[in-house]
């Protein structure tokens, strides 16, 4: 059976690294979702195609249900039924103490980090689940080490949003595991990608237990393990990729 992978936020950072690594490991079809930067998504598609995969870039703002529906329908029509989903899209802000939080920025955080993860998973489950006539599959959510670190003084709302991802990961895994779908998550620590504020990697890296920040491919390796048949009895698990932080 062909492996059809959808990666939300696949045009940058951890999502891009996951798409390219999947292509290099023989995934037959890959959807690179992006919201605004088509040029970056096209670069990821080109790298996937160079590695031998069929790849498409699909613009969709996954905070909008209609866009999510269009994303999965495009995959149905151009690549086939999704078998693997990585919920990688997310944002970090606002950076502030709780007593300084801007109210208007919180809805965007919840909508992308929590609601979009749930609704993208819904659409994947409707296609993968044996209950709905599917052949099974695997889903990996991107959580964060912040979910247990708490983000005090920097970004408590982001940590809370990823705590929600941890909860939905465990509950969702139990809900669909008997229907042929394994659900797991990966919790990165400080990873050197463009999502980091300027100077944070350089300043914090040497202070970490491993004395450095992680790299995107190190997170992608964990994601691809959880998607693979090597993790055939792994469900509801969270893998920390945080260098003992």
pLDDT tens readout for residues 98-131: 999 999 999 999 999 999 999 999 999 999 999 9
Percent of the chain residues past pLDDT 70, beyond the cut:
100
SS3 state of residue 181: strand
The whole-number pLDDT of residue 204 equals 87
pLDDT tens readout for residues 52-70: 999 999 999 999 999 999 9
Q: In what order do the strands lie in the sheet with 4-8?
A: 54-59, 29-34, 4-8, 84-87, 137-142, 181-188, 238-241
The span from the CA of 62 to the CA of 81, in Å, is 19
Give the pLDDT band of residue 92 (cuts 50, 70, 90).
very high
The whole-number pLDDT of residue 127 equals 98
- For the chain, strand residue ranges (E) read 4-8, 29-34, 54-59, 84-87, 137-142, 181-188, 238-241
pLDDT tens readout for residues 151-194: 999 999 999 999 999 999 999 999 999 999 999 999 999 998 87
Instruction: Give me 79's structure tokens.
Output: 């690549």
The whole-number pLDDT of residue 97 equals 96
pLDDT tens readout for residues 182-241: 999 999 999 988 778 788 899 989 999 999 999 999 999 999 999 999 999 999 999 999
Catalytic residues: 158
Q: Which domains does the chain have, with CATH numbers?
A: 4-241 (3.40.50.720)
The span from the CA of 238 to the CA of 223, in Å, is 10
The whole-number pLDDT of residue 175 equals 98
- Tell me the mean pLDDT in the region 26-42: 97
């Amino acid at each position: 059976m062909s492996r059809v992978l959808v990666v939300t936020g696949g045009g940058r950072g951890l999502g891009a690294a996951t798409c390219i690594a999947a292509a290099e490991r023989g995934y037959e079809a890959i959807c690179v979702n992006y919201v605004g930067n088509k040029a970056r998504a096209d670069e990821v598609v080109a790298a996937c195609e160079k590695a031998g995969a069929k790849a498409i870039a699909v613009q969709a703002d996954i905070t909008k249900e209609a866009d999510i529906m269009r994303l999965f329908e495009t995959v149905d029509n151009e690549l086939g039924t999704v078998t693997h989903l990585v919920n990688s899209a997310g944002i970090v802000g606002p950076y502030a103490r709780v007593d300084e939080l801007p109210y208007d920025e919180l809805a965007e955080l919840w909508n992308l980090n929590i609601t979009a993860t749930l609704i993208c998973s819904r659409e994947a489950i409707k296609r993968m689940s044996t209950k709905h006539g599917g052949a099974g599959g695997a889903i990996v959510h991107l959580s964060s080490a912040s979910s247990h670190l708490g983000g005090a003084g920097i970004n408590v709302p982001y940590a809370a949003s990823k705590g929600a991802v941890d909860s939905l990961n465990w509950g969702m895994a139990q809900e669909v595991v008997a229907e042929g779908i394994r659900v797991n998550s990966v919790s990165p620590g400080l990873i050197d990608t463009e999502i980091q504020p300027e100077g944070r990697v350089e300043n914090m890296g040497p202070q970490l237990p491993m004395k450095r920040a992680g790299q995107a491919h190190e997170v992608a390796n964990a994601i691809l393990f959880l998607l693979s048949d090597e993790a055939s009895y792994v469900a509801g698990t969270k893998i920390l990729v945080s260098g003992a932080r």
